Structure 1
Amino acid sequence: MRATITAKTLQSLQPKDKPYFIRSTNGFAVKINPKGSIKYIIETKLNCRTVRRTIGTYPAMPLKDAKEAGAKLLQEILIEPNQRKTSTSLRMLFDSYTSTLNLKETTLKDYQTVIPYYLSDWMNKKVTSISKSMVEKRFVTIRDKGWQGGIPTHSQANKVMRILSALMNYAMADDIIQQNPVDVLKQKRVDRSTIKRSSYLTAPEAREVTESLSDHPVELAIAMMLYTGLRKNEALSIRWENVTKDLITIKDTKNHREHLIPITERIQKILDRIPRSSSPFLFPSPVDKQKNIRDVRPTLKRIEKNTGINFKCHDLRRTFATRASEVGIDFLMIKRMLNHKVSDITAQYIQWNSKENLQKMKEALERVVY
């Protein structure tokens, strides 16, 4: 949508189910996200592709300042390609990558936390100056020694390099570099393997946990995870508007595919225990009712103290899948209940959200008992 962007325009903007843009002249625009945040952006065409960068956030940045910053940023984007190749820093590449791609809010926050911390001394370096030896040395440092006095962490070392590799592939597509320096880890067969968690609760343990749960919002969310297999963020961010008499609709999923969950008798009992409030969320933050709960650690510690059972929220997803298998639910239905993507071509033709298939899924959910 094109329109003149004024202070009055910004004040009248309302979020929708999906992100959308209001575009003005000279590449200036605003992006409105489903959760209500409004970003100033600048975008233009360069080498037959759209380049988009974030300027700031409304209302933290005044509109006048955003337009001035956007004009300067546009000039930087449009400098000669050869100059851009030699002048692009890792920070510039990172900003371009994160503002151009439609990353989920949690993914973007993760990127913005990891890269500026573990590669803090590289952010102002030219992308062309980042070598294979630098990459290998930093990976080993994070993995074996810890970064800036922190503890050694194999998983974070892998995460840093996975994101850095994506950035470098992006730079290759933009003809800034010819080779991805992160490929050295694969070429040298550097051990990047990590032991995947496989912990879950047995049926008696899950039963003991459910019997100990109070009406605390996080504890009700835990019950919801045990009987639906939802990821932590999916369960905690359920909105009342997405709960009907028969279905819970999860819109913000990991694979970006809407997930419909039929409401069984046990799920309904959990919903009945959740008080309705002015918050749009089933599990609102005690600090800000317009946001959902994020930190579940105090509740998990309390449950462990009461039951002696230690677990993380993702263990509940493995618990749900394991129990579904134990009671005889077929593999394809378990994948459907977990909202996992299916690679089989025939399975992709199946319309899982048909009335009859949702009824089959409800019957399967009713069989998952502890």
Structure 2
Amino acid sequence: MSTAITTRTLNKLKPAGQPYFLRDTTLNGFGVKVNTSGKISFVSEVWHGGRSYRKTLGSYPILQLQQARNDALAFMSSVRSGDSQRSKSAQMVLEKLFKQYTASGRLKPRTVQDYQEAVFFYLSDWLKKPVSSITKQMVEKKFYQIRDKGINGGKPTYSQATKVMRILSALMNYAKADEMIESNPVEVLKLKRIDRSIKKRENYLPAHKVRELLKITAPESHPMTLAVHLMLYSGLRKNEALRLKWSDLEHVEGLQCLVIRDTKNHRPHYVPVTEEIQKVLQRAANQTQYIFPSPLQSDTYIKDERPTLKRLSKLINMEFKCHDLRRTFATRASEVGIDYLTVKRMLNHRSNDITAQYIQWNSRQNLLVLKDALEQVAY
């Protein structure tokens, strides 16, 4: 819709069932966007170098009409001259955006690697595309392609489709914050109520299966098998357990503890050494810096758990993964009567409770309480 935009025109505008644009007939490239909430935003559009550029100038009446016109003229002039940051930002390709986003230092190296593997595989054909050229239609088509057909020779996967779109949404919000784009195209999935919820896994090993596993593997000394034993008695995450060094075995307030400093919630996790944990450490004794060293590479920890878990799964006729061991530990802790808050602390889960954030869990008495709880987790 086009008309001569005046103050009187602006004051008469009413919201509709969906956002709409009103373009000015007196200044080509100037107009307003009326949102469903009634908010009126001034916008400026210009065609340059074979592509369209748009900028939101501000909202009415905070920004008055005449100033908005002046800002629109300035924006159009800067784009056409090629000097505006907006013009440069519009040429930002997805690959460069990803590198900028992950270079901030806010993400852990493992998270950056995980994001890179997903983006560079599933969005490989988009890496050289300008961020501003990625549309809602492209996003929706890509989501269904990953979910229902598979991509680059891979199998259809709901979980990866969900994961890729979650990462892409974060990248697009980052671009939006820097005014490279006006809206996040991934929001189309939310607006269309396309299910992207991550299905929670519930696999765990019943106590009798754990007893069977522990009995069969009692003579073993393979680092991954011993790591499995440790996870069953400590509830540690896979990476927390596998990356342990002998130097992480410390005396804290007179108690021997495994101290995990690089945790998911960024708060050090203290695991008092119980009798069962001590047995695992004794069996794991070696001359490297890692408690569970790689059998294939010197001076590093074991990184591929899959062959061992596949073998152990066959031994007990029940498939399991490392995170299933964490669920197994938590379930067993509940079964033997340990209260919910203590189980939460044993797992080092983040707490939003203000009081809990004041408690220093590495005090001697609190470590003794935790050690007692760990010793109760028996199979």
TM-score of the superposed pair, with normalisation by structure 2 = 0.74
* Cα separation, 1, equivalents of 2:153 and 2:308: 30
Matching residue of 2:338: 329
User: What stretches of structure 2 of length at least 5 have no aligned partner?
Assistant: 1-82
User: Which of 153, 165, 169 is the equivalent residue of 1:161?
Assistant: 165
Matching residue of 2:221: 215
Matching residue of 2:298: 289
Structure 1 residue matching 2:270: 3-state secondary structure: strand
Q: In the comparison of the two structures, how many residue pairs are matched?
A: 291
CA contact (8 A) 2:258 2:272 kept: yes
* Cα separation, 1, equivalents of 2:111 and 2:213: 30
The structural deviation recorded for 1:80 is 4.6
Query: What do the CA deviations read for 1:8-27 (whole angstroms, capped 9, x no partner)?
Result: xxxxxxxxxxxxxxxxxxxx
Q: Verify: 1:127 aligned to 2:136, yes or no.
A: no
* Cα separation, 1, equivalents of 2:107 and 2:84: 28
Moved over 3 A (4+): none
Q: Verify: 1:179 aligned to 2:192, yes or no.
A: no
User: Which of 279, 283, 286 is the equivalent residue of 1:273?
Assistant: 283
* Cα separation, 2, equivalents of 1:160 and 1:120: 12
* Cα separation, 2, equivalents of 1:225 and 1:328: 19
Query: What do the CA deviations read for 1:164-199 (whole angstroms, capped 9, x no partner)?
Result: 011111111211112111111111100113432101
Deviates most, 178-187 or 306-315: 306-315
User: Which of 348, 353, 360 is the equivalent residue of 2:369?
Assistant: 360
| Structure 2 counterparts to residues 61-72 of structure 1, below 5 A | none
Matching residue of 2:356: 347
| Structure 2 counterparts to residues 132-143 of structure 1, below 5 A | 132-143=136-147
Amino acid aligned to 1:342: S
Structure 1 residue matching 2:311: 3-state secondary structure: helix
CA contact (8 A) 2:90 2:181 kept: no
Query: What do the CA deviations read for 1:77-120 (whole angstroms, capped 9, x no partner)?
Result: xx851232221111110110111233212111111111011111
User: What stretches of structure 1 of length at least 5 have no aligned partner?
Assistant: 1-78
The structural deviation recorded for 1:139 is 0.5
* Cα separation, 2, equivalents of 1:217 and 1:210: 14
* Cα separation, 2, equivalents of 1:143 and 1:168: 21
Matching residue of 2:232: 226
What is the alpha-carbon root mean square deviation over aligned residues? 1.3
User: Which of 309, 312, 315 is the equivalent residue of 1:303?
Assistant: 312
Query: What do the CA deviations read for 1:214-261 (whole angstroms, capped 9, x no partner)?
Result: 111100000000000011111000011111251101122222221111
Amino acid aligned to 1:101: G
CA contact (8 A) 2:223 2:294 kept: no
* Cα separation, 2, equivalents of 1:231 and 1:292: 15
* Cα separation, 1, equivalents of 2:208 and 2:299: 36
Q: Verify: 1:319 aligned to 2:304, yes or no.
A: no
Amino acid aligned to 2:263: T
* Cα separation, 2, equivalents of 1:321 and 1:215: 25
Structure 1 residue matching 2:350: 3-state secondary structure: coil
